[in-house]
Structure 1
């Protein structure tokens, strides 16, 4: 098995800002000299269409990720094919490479620490997900009984700092 990596998931519905947040986190990790890998879940069913998914993985690469992959319906766009690509297996593969931090876009039902993006009231069902470390929201949800930090989408400095502290803590503790 490769070296220990910090792992953070970014989840939310389509057009909630996941890829934009990924770019910001990748850039911040790069500022801290972290070699970052990304895994994007093609959650729209079927295999990823390289013409459509390349734009997000290209954004990850342009932000500074040294390894960017897209998985959907068993196809990992690193030119590997297997029956299925469970997220734990993808993390294991990435850990064999020189990666310090893995940011995952999607995979709502997986158990890695996750940041949840809430754009509107229809997204509140995401608050039932497991392993939530913080919430970034466009709407006021402070009246809800939530036991994790809540950041407004415009509070970028604070939520980026908070997430990167979780990454640092994972590096120090060797959790993943």
Structure 2
């Protein structure tokens, strides 16, 4: 399907991209890349600090630059929730591998994001969590090669479901 065999995880803040990504990479013998960590390294500050001190536009710019600088091979890539706001970043990621949307319901996201102020979540000025959710869902759906529902699932099940979904895409003749 994709010659580089990367797996790109997209989804809402709190969907479990980083946690699922680490376990997935271990299970499949791949390397793991967390773009939020790369953004922090590149900017020399925490995601929340970039948002607070430099603003949402600067954050989006650093996020896009960070992703465009990636040329991974055989990696599981966990992205920040706002990556789908950049067409350039998503085109780059889609060309690098299979994009898997870890889908969670709004209520589940709200529950998981108990402490939103320190998570580095890109909310536009005056935007509510609900507004952000509603705006991003169609973007995740548009860019996803595969969608895996994660609401009410434990991490191991999500990882298993992702692996199974990828297998089905790579080999549609397999029963599943």
TM-score class, shorter-chain normalisation, is 0.3 to 0.5
Query: TM-score with structure 2 length normalisation?
Result: 0.48
More strand, by proportion: 1
Query: TM-score with structure 1 length normalisation?
Result: 0.48
